[in-house]
Amino acid sequence: MRKIKEVIVVEGRYDKNTLAQTVDATIITLGGFSVFNDREKLAFLRRLAEKQGLIVLTDSDGAGFVIRNYLKGALPGDRVKQAYIPDVQGKERRKRRPGREGKLGVEGMRPEVLLEALRRAGATFLDEGAEEPSRGEPLTKADLFALGLSGGKDSAARRQALLRRLNLPEHLTANGLLEALNLLYSREELEDLLQEDGGEADRPQ
The answer on 113 and 28 residing in a single domain is: yes
Query: Please, are residues 19 and 39 in contact by the beta-carbon 8 Å criterion?
Result: no
In a domain, 14, yes or no: yes
When pLDDT is cut at 50, 70 and 90, the band that residue 118 belongs to is very high
**How many domains is the chain built from?**
2
What pLDDT does residue 5 have? 94
The answer on 192 and 106 residing in a single domain is: no
Mean of the pLDDT values across residues 110-136? 82
With a cut of 50, say whether residue 202 has pLDDT above it.
no
What are 112-119's contacts with CB under 8 Å, separation 24+?
Answer: 113/85, 113/86, 114/18, 114/19, 114/22, 114/23, 114/57, 114/85, 115/2, 115/22, 115/23, 117/57, 117/83, 117/84, 117/85, 117/86, 118/4, 118/8, 118/23, 118/55, 118/57, 118/83
Out of 75, 95, 128, a domain closes at: 128
The answer on 94 and 180 residing in a single domain is: no
The answer on 105 and 13 residing in a single domain is: yes
What is the span of the domain harbouring residue 192? 141-202
The answer on 119 and 26 residing in a single domain is: yes
Mean of the pLDDT values across residues 106-110? 94
In a domain, 136, yes or no: no
The answer on 156 and 110 residing in a single domain is: no
The answer on 116 and 146 residing in a single domain is: no
Instruction: Write out pLDDT tens, residues 14-59.
Output: 999 999 999 999 999 999 999 999 998 999 999 999 999 999 999 9
When pLDDT is cut at 50, 70 and 90, the band that residue 188 belongs to is confident
Out of 96, 128, 160, a domain closes at: 128
The answer on 192 and 117 residing in a single domain is: no
Out of 128, 153, 177, a domain closes at: 128
What pLDDT does residue 200 have? 45
